Amino acid sequence: MVNSIMLHSTPTRRSVIICLFRHDLRIRDNPILHYANSHPTATHMLPVYCFDPRQVNLTRARGKDYAEPKSRLFNLPRSSKLRTRFLVESVLNLKTNLKKLGSELLIALEPPEEFLPRVADELLPEYDVEAVYLQEEVTDEEIRVQQKLIHRMNAPVESFHGATLVHPEDLPFPMEDLPDVYTKFRKAVESMDTPFRPVLPTPKKLKPLPGNDLLDQMLTVDADHLLPSMGVVDTAPDLRTVFPFGGGEDQAIERLTDWVWNTKSISTYKETRNGLLGTDYSSKLSPWLALGCLSPREILKQVEAYEDSNEANISTYWIRFELLWRDYFWFVGGKYGNGIFHRDGVLANRSDDQPSWKVDPNLMKAWIHGETGIPWVDANMRELRNTGYMSNRGRQNVASFLAKDLRVDWRFGGEWFETHLLDYDPCSNYGNWQYGWFSVAGVGNDPRENRHFNMIKQAKDYDPEGKYVAMWCPELRDVPVKHIHTPWKMPHDVQQKANCVIGRDYPEPIVLQEVWEKHVARPPKDTKKSSGNPNERVSKKDSRRRQRRKAKASKPHSHR
């Protein structure tokens, strides 16, 4: 009888798990949602997203509370309006999808380490905060946020891994022993029987929100005016863009489905991936991957389904290959930390033949505005500024031009890409500058991959008719194909006839290289440059390995 009275007089307290979304703006294959929703004792869940003033410009929304965030070295804006709009669209889509599952998204315009402790204080009279769940990150800013939360929250702060195809716990070596050469990493992963964990189930319904008057008010003040308050309403994409998509998980899944199953463009990806025009030469999934609107495992799941119903070939394999590149840069960030931002690379080994970097405002201005006088470079840089996107081929070339031809500090290029690329993430961006794009900065992990691109050869190989250049440099549209990549070579009467006088209508080249000359007179290739037979079958060994992975897919894993 005494025990019965005590039970009724002290009912079980309700408890909440706060799910802090960062670069995981999705409900599919999301560890923090999965584990919060299946927590055995938590009765409620509160999803939260914070627009961080250190990364996004909140001056219009918050006035003088926060200054516009700038880059580390060159004082560039941290995020362009196009990139900010894509982020806002992704957050709002997450909010919509959470509503469909019976939940909501609490959106704040302040740092999470300031906002979440206040939320926890408001909850405490009625709820215990069981824990804060967030996705594991490896870069400095995100780690510092987590450390501050651990210090300020009177509740555990637990991180879960969901950023990569391969879980760090499943690597065949500890993180500190990660190979400094990608090929060694890839071969080690591909030799594993089950390198990839299965996709987590999508929840059908989420735990209820905590009932609280203040929280109810917070949940009703954000959605309708978020785009206007961030100053990005008037940032409609350029009609020339090859990325005419919006932010958010719904758009990501629609694009993945269309590219794999409707157009079947995946089957020729290895052949078309160096394209410049149109939406389907590549998957265009990277912007959603960067914000976590789409998980790499979700992509792999669709690739394997396509292979099962069609046929595995070199193009379907190449999707895995590039997802592993993305993984590799994430793990490099985990191994070397801020070394990915270091002038001399993660190994910090300067040699006598490395450049003395310039910081020349005139050269830097010409490069960012696409006014270098080299049409191939200018077209790519104008596409980036106007759309937030640039092909991988273009990125390699403009990066090589900045670092190798202009000798400008490569980190300026890294920060400019950070400002504008819709698919910016720190590990992939700075990893590619240092290593991935054949070490365009000359400071990469692998000394064998130190390549200097020839702008004229590249232009004639990949834009043989000059259609891409004419689209983004309209002052050159009437220039004959013979001269479109080298307009400074035009006789003056041809310049006048084409309404493109060099130095007046289009700039003089800011640099010329002697090695370009042998490609000036040669005719462009009349076929697209190919990297292999798109119908080449993958090896039986790879196919058998994939079947073993499927057979063992039910093996239990910890996703933390």
325 is in an annotated binding site: yes
> Token pair for residue 436?
């991935």
d(CA 435, CA 329): 9
326 is in an annotated binding site: yes
> Token pair for residue 343?
């002038």
d(CA 498, CA 407): 33
Tell me the CA distances in angstroms from 472 to 204, 208, 384, 388, one per residue in order: 46, 50, 10, 14
d(CA 498, CA 494): 6
d(CA 549, CA 555): 10
328 is in an annotated binding site: yes
543 is in an annotated binding site: no
462 is in an annotated binding site: no
Taking residue 192's Cβ as centre, other Cβ atoms within 10 Å add up to: 15
Vertex 15 angle, CA 10 and 19, to 5°? 175
Place of tokens 């400095």: 140
289 is in an annotated binding site: no
425 is in an annotated binding site: yes
371 is in an annotated binding site: no
410 is in an annotated binding site: no
> Token pair for residue 344?
């001399």
Question: Which residues is 45 bridged to in the sheet?
Answer: 17
423 is in an annotated binding site: yes
323 is in an annotated binding site: yes
Question: Which residues is 108 bridged to in the sheet?
Answer: 50
Are 455 and 445 in contact, with CB atoms under 8 Å apart?
A: no
DSSP state of 375: H
DSSP states of 383-433: HHHHHS---HHHHHHHHHIIIIIS-B-HHHHHHHHHHH-TT--HHHHHHII
What 3-state DSSP class applies to 106?
strand
286 is in an annotated binding site: yes
Which residues make up each annotated binding site for FAD?
Answer: 269, 282-286, 322-329, 423-425
Which residues make up each annotated binding site?
Answer: 269, 282-286, 322-329, 423-425
